[in-house]
Amino acid sequence: MTTDTLEPTVTLNTVWPKIRRRAWLTVLVPCTVLLYLAYTWFAFDITGLLAKARPDRAAILATDSVAYKVQVEKNFRSDTFEVAIEGERTATYDNTDLPDWIDLSGDNAVVDLGEGYEIEIDGKTALFTIPNFGVIRGTATETGVETKLPEGPVPDWVKVDPRKLEVRPTIDRRLQITKTKIEVHNYFAGWENFWFPFRSPLYGMSFSELYALALNADRIDPDYSNLWFVVEEFLSNPDWQHGAVLTALFETIMMAVLGTLTAALFGLPLAFLAARNFTPSLVLRFGTRRLFDFLRGIDMLIWSLIFIRAFGLGPLTGALAIAFTDTGSLGKLFSEALENIDNRQVEGVRATGANQLQRYRFGVIPQILPVFVSQVLYYLESNTRSATVIGALGAGGIGLLLVETMKTSRDWENTSYIIILTIVVVILMDQMSSWLRRKLIEGR
């Protein structure tokens, strides 16, 4: 250790340029960032985007995902009167057993929408009584719709058209008349038919009833035990497809777990080949490092597209795509950890007469084990998120299911159900991996 007796003298001339440079930086850096953001404002055409945005879609999604409608439909063409949940054929009420807010008498009906809102259907005419407004009268004719509104300006929730009348005074009450039918929508909070399908014998049962039923010896279906019947009815619910959703979630988790474990298993031995202190051969080291770069550089996107072509849809495809990319990433991280180990421990083990394998096992592995475990767990949790994206590219799992439900854009409650499940799974994986990390590395 040498001591410098000549302290470097600090003069104004050495300090000023530094201060000036720093001052310039504090001005220039924020200015550049702002300029760049301004440029991207135009590059992304945000003004045009805001003009084209459809906030009404967000509102539909929000209402539809927390509410469902019961549809009352009078069809003149087939001369039928139908009350159905979400207008689904599979969830149509029997006309002798209607909900009590509908009063059916012959061909005519009175629908009580609550809070003073009431619709009276009389032949081809519907009378919509709206509190503090008046009565809207719409009649279906051979050519279109005749509308009679109370005096005064037309509010914006009434859409009058010669061919169609639409009245929606509140977001949860709606009347539509065309020349062929009168439709009334009454919205209710919640998810319809979530547990069991409408036609199921279990529809509308409470948990305690189900519990009692499951333990009951009298079988509903002679082929299955009651417990199995309940589970089966739940999983095969046609509206919600719990079975399919759970399978898809399982596939996604499988992709993440298998992919990460495989990457770790292949990354570790390869990392030894890429570490300076373990592989003296320059060619081998260089080759392995470039292999890591190649695997990482190709990226999960391209790997999954290639694997989808070769192996088709499914968890195997996703697992392999994750495994290939992360062998590169984990291999690089492990080789850096290997290069930073303390050589004295290895020498200590060597001094006891250990052979090569024993030196690795007792001198090296214990040193990199914390890095190994913590990185693998980090990757596991981030891969759970990646697996949903890979799924959306076409590998299957919850990602694909989500994209498909969104594309049909009909039942938004299904979309929110999938979104909620996905987030729950990701958070659970996150919690589990940090718990494991704490347990394994910091010790209990």
Partner 1 sequence: MAVAALEQEILSLRKHRQLYSLIGLLLVVAVLVSGYSKANSMNSGGFLQGLSKFFDYPGEIVAEAIDAGPAFFGQILHFLPAMMETLNIALVATLLGGAGAVVLAMASTRNVDSWGPLIPVVRRIMDVMRAFPELIIALFLIFVLGSSPVPAMIAVAFHTAGALGKLFSEVNDNIDRKPIEGLSACGANWLQRIRFAVLPQVAPNYLSYFLLRLEINVRASAILGFVGAGGIGQELRRTIGWGKGAGDETAAIFVLLFITIMIIDQLSSWLRGRLVGSSRAH
Contacting positions for partner 1 (CB under 8 A) = 33, 36-37, 40, 43-46, 49, 52-55, 57-58, 61, 251, 254-255, 257-258, 261-262, 265, 293, 296-302, 305-307, 309-317, 319, 333, 336, 340, 385, 388-389, 392-393, 399, 402-403, 406, 409, 419, 422-423, 426-427, 430
- Cα dihedral 163→169→171→174 (10° resolution): -40
Tell me the CB-side half-sphere exposure of residue 8, using CA atoms within 13 A. Answer: 4
Between CA 325 and CA 306 the distance in angstroms is 13
Minimum distance from CB of 218 to partner 1 (Å)?
36
Provide the 8-state DSSP code for 92: B
In the bound state with partner 1, the residue whose beta carbon lies nearer, of 122 and 336, is 336
Nearest distance from residue 46's CB to partner 1, in Å?
Answer: 6
Q: Are 401 and 392 in contact (CB under 8 A)?
A: no
Under a CB-based contact definition with an 8 Å cutoff, are residues 153 and 164 in contact?
A: no
Residue closer to partner 1 by CB (options 127, 291) is: 291
Angle at 299 between CA 293 and CA 305, to 5 degrees: 135
- Min separation Cβ 332 and partner 1, Å: 8
Closest distance to partner 1 from the beta carbon of 92 (Å): 30
Instruction: Report the C-alpha dihedral over residues 232, 234, 237, 239, rounded to 10 degrees.
Output: -170
Smaller CB separation from partner 1, 137 or 385 = 385
**Shortest spacing between CB 104 and partner 1, in angstroms:** 38
- Please give the full DSSP string across 371-429, using - where no structure is assigned: HHHHHHHHHHHHHHHHHHHHIIIII-SHHHHHHHHHHH-S-HHHHHHHHHHHHHHHHHH
* Rounded least distance, CB 8 to partner 1, Å: 21
Question: Which CB sits closer to partner 1, 267 or 399?
Answer: 399
Q: How far apart are CA 291 and CA 131, in angstroms?
A: 73
* Closest to 85 (Cα-Cα) out of 109, 66, 68: 68
Q: Measuring CA to CA, which residue among 397, 419, 408, 399 is closest to residue 65?
A: 419
Q: Which residues of 4-32 are buried (b: 16+ CB within 10 A; e: fewer)?
A: eeeeeeeeeeeeeeeeeeeeeeeeeeeee
The residue among 48 and 114 lying less far from partner 1, judged by its C-beta, is: 48
Q: How far is the CB of 319 from partner 1 (least distance, A)?
A: 6
- What is the phi/psi pair of residue 409, to 5°? 30, 55
Residue whose CB is less far from partner 1, 54 or 77: 54
Q: Which is nearer to partner 1, 72 or 429 (CB)?
A: 429
Instruction: Identify which of residues 309 and 438 has a Cβ nearer to partner 1 in the complex.
Output: 309
In the complex, the smallest distance separating the C-beta of residue 231 from partner 1, rounded to whole angstroms, is: 21
Q: Which lies closer to partner 1 via its Cβ, residue 44 or residue 211?
A: 44
Least distance (Å) between residue 71 CB and partner 1: 24
